[in-house]
Amino acid sequence: MGEFELIDRFFRRRGRAPRDGVALGIGDDCALLQPAAGMQLAVSTDLLVEGRHFLSTVDPRRLGHKALAVNLSDLAASGARPLAFTLSLALPAVQETWLEGFAAGLFALADEHGCELVGGDTTRGPLAISITVFGEVPAGQALLRSGAREGDDVWVSGTLGEARLALEVFRGTLVVEAPVFEAARRRLEEPAPRVALGQALRGLATAAVDVSDGLLGDLGHVLRASGVGATVDVEAAAATMAHGGAVEPQRRLECVLAGGDDYELAFTAPRSRRPEVEAAAGSAGTTVTRIGVIDTEPGLRLRDAQGRAVPGRYGSFDHFA
Ligand code: ADP
Ligand code: MG
């Protein structure tokens, strides 16, 4: 099977009207996007490399899902609505069942979010997947990392730490019961990007980031960009972890604070807007938890529920560290 037959068979979807905002999709030299009047394009890209970001044994359907999910999570953190994406693939060989599974997982999530595949590139090489997503957001209303202010609450969506728990089990450094592992593994392999929540937080959150490299590391980006610090109640954060009781308290803290691959949103909002944040989360079908407060002193201070300082360093993932 040649390159063009492969694209045609697995990635070009016939007989579908293009979504609004997409003027031209796959097949020409460029795709053409047409955001609605008054909207800005939000653009983000991610590269997934076998052995680095996923294991060779991962179910291709789940891999297709995750490759797009991590990009949609960036749109969510910006408060953008997904429009379209491109897909660049390096494949060691054409394996039809692998490609079918990958495409099925990819398109299932794409359709859930009305995000259309509009182009890409396909080449032979060690397995790697790069997706670029395009979303739209009313001009000037994107959520940024730089808007957190003293006195704001720090919030996280959903649950944290399960992806790391699954990774530890895969590595053989943790043992849990089979149903706990299965649930955690789904969080690792099929994360649900918080796209609806991100949009609901426009005009409400003062800053936002998606949690991909670990809560404290990603929150640190917000603090530096905003020129502020924060005090975080680590027990409130740890309590979000589903099946957190399956691991000892110190491991739970590590999973929640530094685990990564959660694809939840961490965001800040003024204290006066708590009811609106709760309502936004309700309308988006996501839980949110208050885990701390922004202060003026730079850096992160960790406290337990009684307000006592919690020692320890919880680094985040860095490919070149
Ligand atoms: P070019 O040589 O101009 O880069 P290609 O011949 O590589 O174009 O691709 C032909 C068409 O197929 C283009 O519209 C391109 O965007 C699309 N395409 C290539 N690979 C993929 C892919 N993996 N998924 C979706 N579209 C793809
Ligand atoms: Mg090309």
Question: Chain-wide mean pLDDT for the chain?
Answer: 95
Find the mean pLDDT for residues 217-244: 97
User: What pLDDT does 320 receive?
Assistant: 66
pLDDT tier for residue 68 given thresholds of 50, 70 and 90: very high
Ligand 1 binding pocket includes 117 (Cβ within 6 Å)? yes
Neighbour tally for 195: CB within 10 Å = 25
User: What pLDDT does 255 receive?
Assistant: 96
Find the mean pLDDT for residues 60-81: 98
User: What pLDDT does 216 receive?
Assistant: 96
Find the mean pLDDT for residues 91-104: 96
User: What pLDDT does 112 receive?
Assistant: 98
Q: In one letter, which amino acid is 241? A: M
User: What pLDDT does 321 receive?
Assistant: 61
Half-sphere exposure of residue 288, counting CA atoms within 13 Å on the CB side? 29
Please choose from 121, 130, 131 the residue to mutate so as to test ligand 1's pocket, defined by most ligand atoms within 8 A of CB. 121
**Nearest to residue 267, comparing CAs of 220, 222, 227, 302?**
222
pTM here? 0.95
User: What pLDDT does 312 receive?
Assistant: 76
Find the mean pLDDT for residues 217-224: 97
Find the mean pLDDT for residues 259-287: 98
User: What pLDDT does 315 receive?
Assistant: 66
Ligand 1 binding pocket includes 5 (Cβ within 6 Å)? no
CB of 232 closer than 8 Å to CB of 300: yes
Residue 84 Cα, ligand 2 centroid: separation in angstroms? 18
Find the mean pLDDT for residues 157-174: 96
User: What pLDDT does 55 receive?
Assistant: 85
* Angle in degrees, CA 176, 178, 182, rounded to 5: 105
Find the mean pLDDT for residues 88-115: 97
Show the tokens assigned to 133. 């997503």
Show the tokens assigned to 311. 């020692």
Please choose from 4, 26, 132 the residue to mutate so as to test ligand 1's pocket, defined by most ligand atoms within 8 A of CB. 26
The Cα 258–Cα 249 span in angstroms is 14
pLDDT tier for residue 14 given thresholds of 50, 70 and 90: confident
User: What pLDDT does 313 receive?
Assistant: 74
For residue 316, pLDDT over 80 is answered with no
Find the mean pLDDT for residues 205-216: 97
Helix (H, G, I), strand (E, B) or coil at 266: strand
Q: H-helix or E-strand containing 308?
A: none
For residue 166, pLDDT over 90 is answered with yes
Ligand 1 atom closest to the Cα of residue 119 is: 16
Q: In one letter, which amino acid is 164? A: R
For residue 211, pLDDT over 90 is answered with yes
**Nearest to residue 247, comparing CAs of 191, 320, 174?**
174
Half-sphere exposure of residue 319, counting CA atoms within 13 Å on the CB side? 7
Find the mean pLDDT for residues 278-284: 98
Q: In what order do the strands lie in the sheet with 81-91?
A: 39-49, 128-138, 81-91, 116-124
- Higher-scoring residue by pLDDT: 15, 217: 217
Strands (DSSP E) contained in the chain are: 22-24, 32-33, 39-49, 81-91, 116-124, 128-138, 153-157, 207-211, 229-233, 264-269, 288-295, 299-303
